[in-house]
Amino acid sequence: MYWYPFNIADYKSSTAHLSNDEDLAFRRLLDMYYDTEMPIPLDSTWLARRIRVSIKAIESVLGDMFERREDGYHHKRCDAEIVKYQAFAESGKRGAAIRWGKGGDGGAIGSLIDPNANNNHNNNNNKNNNTTTKESRSPKGSRFSIELLPRDWFDFCKAERPELDPERTFQQFRDYWIAKAGKDASKLDWLATWRVWVRNQKIQTGGNGNGKFNAGKYIRDQLRMESQLAEKVVGSGVAQEIGNDLSDKIPF
């Protein structure tokens, strides 16, 4: 059993006379009983090593709370809970067998309901297996979600195409891929996609075109995003105070 019902009031009333060591022994003996779904073994020395409680406390609890039989120490409530648990588990297995037509009369019942039930189930399994195989061979990409130009992207654009404005190029790149629909809008490697985009760009007109990283704009954009996130979490008033406080600290 992975769990068992534990009534706190019943336990307290039936164990109020036990010492601390005896109470610990009883709890651990109950856990062993339910875990193995078998009576407690008769060997007190072996039990003491297994549950790490003194032999004296174990024997006291066994004599007081359990019934000694040939196959071990029994507890009426434990036996009753185990019987209910096993019956429930067995009914679940039978229900699954009937539902999926596996073993026993499951196939016969499935055939009475739908003569093609088993064939349809097998076909569905084959389709699922084929789909899983295809997905494992073709890993899915992701849509573009980067808000600000990463520094390594800026450095690549500046080195590869110094005549371009990295920030302007990035905005065009971002707007294009966010607006794009369909399966082609997902990519496995967005950095590689960026590199191809930069190499294929035509010479730009307008903008600053100096290929310099605008640190002030970059930080202000970061603060704007953080302020928007804070507004969602703590409210607009607090978020505005945070944004103003941080903006005052920017030296440009």
1-108 CATH fold: Arc Repressor Mutant, subunit A (1.10.10)
Residue spans of the domains in the chain: they are 1-108, 151-247
Report yes or no: 34 and 4 within 8 Å, Cβ to Cβ: yes
Q: pLDDT 10s digit of each residue in the chain, 252 long?
A: 777 888 898 899 999 999 999 999 999 999 999 999 999 999 999 999 999 999 999 999 999 999 999 999 999 999 998 898 888 777 777 766 666 665 544 443 343 334 454 455 555 555 555 544 444 445 678 899 898 889 899 999 989 998 899 999 999 999 999 898 888 888 889 999 999 999 998 876 554 445 454 555 555 665 666 666 666 655 555 545 545 554 554 444
Report yes or no: 1 and 31 within 8 Å, Cβ to Cβ: no
Q: In angstroms, rounded to a whole number, what is the distance separating the alpha carbons of residues 74 and 62?
A: 9
Report yes or no: 24 and 10 within 8 Å, Cβ to Cβ: no
Q: Which residues pair with 40 in a beta bridge?
A: 73
Q: In angstroms, rounded to a whole number, what is the distance separating the alpha carbons of residues 213 and 157?
A: 11
